[in-house]
Structures are given as structure tokens and as C-alpha cells.
């Protein structure tokens, strides 16, 4: 993983990690023919949570602030089937807001989160579950 300090701090075998995302309301939404929907200057709070073995609670390990541009979200209907395609996201800036695991060296968080978002987006695009409106219960 890109954040080795997580594994140094939570060094017990069986520790689980998960992400939590929250967006702010200050983004700019654009719609046009070339790009479909664009969501620009999106503020995202990304929390990395950890749960150690035998623990019942999740602890907040790291919290980041990320600003991103979602340059093209294409949602269209063809033959009453909804198709989607999301182009790669651009991360503009990233800040470490808090650390529950001690000091962290400043890494290229922008590149890390851009790679993470684009990996997830590529999976969404590949496994694009099209929604067939014709199959709705009348």
C-alpha cells in the first residue's frame, strides 16, 4: 500500500481498513454536448478507518481533503437502456487534515488519490451495469 505507516502503526495481522467519502456542496456542475456532465472543483473529505482484530469499532486513522475535477460523466439512453461512462478524474490538490497514527512524511497524495479514483472509475466503466428501462414493472 502507498501508506506504509498504516501497517507500521496497525501491525496486527487481520487489521481491516476502509474508506469513507464525503463531498461538499461547493462544486460547479456543467452540462454540455462534448463532455456530458462535468463536476468541477469538488471538495472531498476522505477518511481511512481501521479496525483491529477483536475490536468492534472503527478508528479514524487518516483524514484527507481532496479537490478534484470529474471532467466527463456521460449518461445517455439508447433503446430505453441507460448507459454511463466516466472519464478519468483530475486531482487538483490534497491535504492531510488529521492523523491518528502520528507524523506522516509529505508524499505525493495528489498522484495517489488520482490513481485510486481512476482505478475505481475504470472498474465502474468495465462493469457498467446498464439499466434497461423496459424491464421496469409497469
Number of domains in the chain: 1
Closest-CA residue to 26 (of 44, 13, 46, 5): 44
| Tens of pLDDT, residues 8-38 | 888 878 889 998 989 887 777 888 777 788 8
Q: What is the mean pLDDT of the chain?
A: 85
Q: What is the CATH number of the domain that holds 83?
A: 3.15.20.10
* pLDDT at site 86: 85
Helix (H) or strand (E) holding 120: helix 109-126
Per-residue b/e over 88-103, b at no fewer than 16 CB within 10 Å? Answer: ebebeebeeeebebee
- What is the pTM for the complete model shown? 0.75
The rounded distance, in Å, linking the Cα atoms of 46 and 44 is 6
Q: The domain containing residue 63 runs over which residues? A: 4-135
Interacting residues of 105 by C-beta distance below 8 A, sequence separation 6+: none
Amino acid at each position: 500500500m502507498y501508506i506504509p505507516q498504516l501497517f507500521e502503526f496497525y501491525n496486527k495481522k487481520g487489521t481491516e481498513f476502509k474508506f469513507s467519502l464525503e463531498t461538499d456542496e461547493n462544486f460547479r456542475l456543467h452540462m454540455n454536448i462534448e463532455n456530458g456532465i462535468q463536476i468541477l472543483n469538488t471538495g472531498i473529505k476522505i477518511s481511512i478507518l481501521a479496525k483491529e482484530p477483536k475490536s468492534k469499532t472503527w478508528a479514524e486513522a487518516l483524514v484527507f481533503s481532496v479537490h478534484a475535477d470529474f471532467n466527463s460523466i456521460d449518461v445517455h439512453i439508447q433503446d430505453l437502456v441507460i448507459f454511463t461512462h466516466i472519464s478519468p478524474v483530475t486531482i487538483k490538490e490534497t491535504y492531510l487534515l488529521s492523523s491518528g497514527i502520528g507524523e506522516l512524511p509529505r508524499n505525493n497524495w495528489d498522484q495517489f488519490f488520482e490513481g485510486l479514483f481512476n482505478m475505481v472509475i475504470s472498474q465502474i466503466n468495465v462493469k457498467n451495469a446498464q439499466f434497461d428501462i423496459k424491464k421496469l414493472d409497469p
